[in-house]
C-alpha cells in the first residue's frame, strides 16, 4: 500500500492511496457457497477469493474556495464566498468469478462443477461489451470434474466519482445554516456486475446488472447551533 497525504494548506487537503492485494482461499467462501467442487480434492479449489481485488486507488480532497471571501459587497460575499468542495475518486479492478457447467454433468449432485477448457481463456467485459464477453473453449466434463480452476476470470472494474459542495450562512451569533449539495456517481459511470458464467445457458457471458447505483443528487439544509 502506498499513501500520499497533503495536510491542510491554504484550505486544501488531499489523501490518495493505492493498494495492491491478492487474496486466496479454498473453503471460506469457496464457489460462493462454502463447498468445494470435489469434497475429496479441496486442493483443486484453491484459488482467488471472491473478494480478491488486485488494484484499488482512492483519492479524496477538500478545498475551501478562497474566491470572493474579501468582497466589499456584502450580498456577494455572503452568497458566493466561503464555499467548500469535497470529492472522492475510486478506481479498482474487478472481482473474480467462477465458470461452472449447467446442471450436474459429473452426476455427483453438486451445482458448482466446473467445465473442461482447452486453449487460452479471457474476458472483455464492461461498457460496450455486455454480451459474449467471455472468450474460450468450454465443454462440460461428463461423469467427471473439469480441469478449469476456480475463480480464474475477472469481471469489470469500478470507476466512481463523488462530489459535494457546502456553504455556511451565519444567521445568528451561535447559529449557522449549512447548504449541502451532494453528487454520488457524479459522472454517471455504470459499474457493471460480473457476467453470467454458467456454460450451456443462453446468457453465458452476458452482463445483466450493475453493482452500484446510477447518479444520485441531493440537496439539504442543516442547522448548526
Q: What are the tens digits of pLDDT across the range 16-47? A: 999 999 999 986 665 566 788 898 998 999 99
**Buried b or exposed e, range 78-93, using 16+ CB within 10 angstroms:** eeebbbebebbbbebb
Measured distance CA(188)–CA(159) in Å, rounded: 10
191 in Cβ contact with 158 (< 8 Å): yes
pLDDT tens track for 97-122: 999 999 999 999 888 899 999 999 99
Residue (of 30, 106, 90) closest to 58 by Cα position: 90
> 127 pLDDT band (50/70/90 cuts)?
confident
52 in Cβ contact with 97 (< 8 Å): no
> 172 pLDDT band (50/70/90 cuts)?
confident
Average pLDDT across the chain, whole number: 90
pLDDT confidence of residue 111: 84
Q: What's CA 163's distance to the chain center, in Å?
A: 17
Instruction: Give 23-86 as a 3 state SS string.
Output: CEECCCCHHHCCCCCCCCCHHHHCEECCCCCCEEEEEEEEEECCCCCCCCCHHHHHHHCCEEEE
pLDDT confidence of residue 74: 67
pLDDT tens track for 183-225: 999 999 999 999 999 999 999 999 999 998 999 999 999 998 8
pLDDT confidence of residue 29: 62
> 80 pLDDT band (50/70/90 cuts)?
confident
**Buried b or exposed e, range 126-147, using 16+ CB within 10 angstroms:** beeebeebbebebebbeeebbe
Beta bridge partners of 177: 169, 223
Amino acid at each position: 500500500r502506498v499513501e500520499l497525504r497533503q495536510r491542510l494548506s491554504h484550505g486544501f487537503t488531499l489523501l490518495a492511496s493505492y493498494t495492491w492485494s491478492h487474496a486466496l482461499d479454498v473453503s471460506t467462501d469457496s464457489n460462493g457457497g462454502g463447498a468445494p467442487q470435489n469434497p475429496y480434492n479441496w486442493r483443486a479449489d484453491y484459488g482467488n477469493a471472491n473478494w480478491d481485488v488486485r488494484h484499488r486507488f482512492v483519492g479524496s480532497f477538500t478545498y475551501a474556495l478562497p474566491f470572493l471571501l474579501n468582497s466589499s459587497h456584502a450580498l456577494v460575499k455572503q452568497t458566493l464566498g466561503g464555499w467548500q468542495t469535497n470529492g472522492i475518486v475510486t478506481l479498482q479492478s474487478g472481482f473474480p468469478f467462477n465458470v461452472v457447467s449447467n446442471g450436474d454433468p459429473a452426476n455427483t449432485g453438486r451445482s458448482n462443477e466446473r467445465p473442461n477448457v482447452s486453449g487460452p481463456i479471457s474476458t472483455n467485459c464492461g461498457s460496450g461489451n455486455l454480451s459474449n464477453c467471455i472468450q474460450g473453449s468450454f465443454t462440460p466434463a461428463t461423469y467427471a470434474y473439469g480441469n478449469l480452476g476456480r475463480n480464474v476470470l475477472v469481471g469489470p472494474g469500478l470507476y466512481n466519482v463523488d462530489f459535494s459542495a457546502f456553504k455556511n450562512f451565519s444567521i445568528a451569533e451561535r447559529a449557522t445554516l449549512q447548504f449541502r449539495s451532494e453528487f454520488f456517481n457524479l459522472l454517471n459511470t455504470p459499474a457493471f456486475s460480473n457476467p453470467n458464467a454458467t456454460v450451456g445457458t443462453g446468457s453465458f457471458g452476458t452482463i445483466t446488472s450493475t453493482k452500484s447505483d446510477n447518479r444520485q443528487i441531493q440537496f439539504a439544509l442543516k442547522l448548526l447551533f
